[in-house]
Amino acid sequence: MAILQTSSPFVSYCSSSASLRKTRATLYNPNVSVRKPLINDEFNQRKGLITFKTTNPLIEIKLKLENNGANKEEISNSMVLQETYAIMDIVAGRVEMHKNIGAQRDNWNRLLLNSVNGMTTTAATMAGIAAVNGSGASFMALKLSSSLLYMAATGVLLVMNKIQPSQLAEEQRNASRLFKKLHEEIKTNIAIGNPDWDDVKAAMEKVLALDEAYPLPLLGTMLDKFPSLVQPAVWWPEERSTQQEKLVRKVEKNGWNENLEEEMKEIVGIVKRKDTEEYMRLSKLVLKINKILAISGPLFTGIAAVGSALMGSSFYGSFAAILSVVFGAMAVVANSLEHGGQIGMVFEMYRNSAGFLRFMGETIESTLEEGEADERENGELFEVKVALQLGRSLSELRDLADDASHPHSSMKEEDGEEFASKLL
């Protein structure tokens, strides 16, 4: 026992020495890693600082400026980037919003059309059965039910023809596509260039112009579905920036020459006098058809409702039953042609096609009016973009402009002139 007691200090000393050697080996051994980030985190938390990793570019920019003590120019550039990213996020939200609402309004068109046709068909069937029965309680029940269904179908048709759900859905599809295009433009501008305040202002103007061209609410701001004057759709700001691309590599004459300028002028002339005029003519034709069908549907169901109410009278006899059944069938046909055929969507599609061609013409004209060739977008790049937007190759685009420029060519005449676009 004494031996154990006397040896205990020695054992304690040995164990403490082994622990000290282990600690020193840990500190001086390069293969053993010390958890320095945890120590730094604890130290920063004690000083009131927070360290974290982030992938958000806005937060990274802000932290970089605060840590480095940036000057006014760097702060201004960071504010431009922050506003640009904010606008890009808003545009992405617009894309989803218009996409969802477009799907909803497309559902409206199908559901309302099925409901109206179902009510009209049921009312016509009831009127026919009532005409066969002739009298009694069942006759009065079928007669009243048929009249009520016809009146309900008339009311729904009046609302449906006023808002044109298929046209509303096409508006939202176009808005979603254009907002998505704007989102990609902003992303490209951030990736390849240094955006400035003019770019921020231009992006905001484009967003507001799209909001005005394709409104979401139905009350107050809805586009007129039966305008007295048909015009191409306009979704771009009236005063557009004259500088299309800021960071395009400048070469000798920037890719422009007299032949290319004349080619672009001829393309603009063909687009205006052929393509745009043709789409405007088709828009007016489809609008007239849509007006006729929009009036015919409620009129037919209204006449059928009157005929159903007059069934059984001694004066009109079987003539009222004929009116009820025949005009009910005609109403089903008219409604199916208008809303099943989506005439409103076709009108909006033609109007947007005319707007696209008008936008292209204004873009070419504004580019040619920018002044010196070095101030414009690269000519070769611009020619490729115009050709692809028209669905043509470069050789086809040049041949089209060459045929239009010859005074003795038969293609010079408007009736025999070729359309510029092969895509639309």
Q: Look at 314 and 186; give whichever has higher pLDDT.
A: 186
pLDDT of the residue at 96: 94
Average pLDDT over residues 232-237: 90
Instruction: Describe the chain by its helix, strand, coil percentages, rounded to 5.
Output: 75, 0, 25
Per-residue tokens: 300: 């037919």
**Residue 395 burial by Cβ neighbours in a 10 Å radius (0-12, 13-18, 19+):** exposed
Question: Residue 304: CB partners within 8 Å, gap ≥ 6?
Answer: 120, 123, 124, 127, 150, 323, 324, 325, 326, 327, 328, 331
Q: Look at 20 and 239; give whichever has higher pLDDT.
A: 239
pLDDT of the residue at 317: 67
pLDDT of the residue at 12: 44
Q: Has residue 368 got a pLDDT over 50? A: yes
- In which band, very low, low, confident or very high, does the pLDDT at 251 lie, cut at 50, 70 and 90? very low
The answer for 253, left when phi > 0, alpha when psi is -120 to 50, beta otherwise, is left
Q: Has residue 9 got a pLDDT over 50? A: no
Give the residue carrying structure tokens 């010079």.
412
pLDDT of the residue at 76: 63
Most confident of 18-22, 38-42, 321-325: 321-325
Per-residue tokens: 35: 């958890």
- In which band, very low, low, confident or very high, does the pLDDT at 249 lie, cut at 50, 70 and 90? very low
Q: How far is Cα 42 from Cα 36, in angstroms, rounded to an integer? A: 10
Per-residue tokens: 244: 């299309």
Q: Has residue 346 got a pLDDT over 80? A: yes
- In which band, very low, low, confident or very high, does the pLDDT at 31 lie, cut at 50, 70 and 90? very low
Mean of the per-residue pLDDT values of the chain:
79
Domain limits, the chain: 34-69, 72-215+255-412
pTM over 0.85: no
pLDDT of the residue at 136: 76
End-to-end CA gap in the chain: 106
Q: Has residue 406 got a pLDDT over 80? A: no
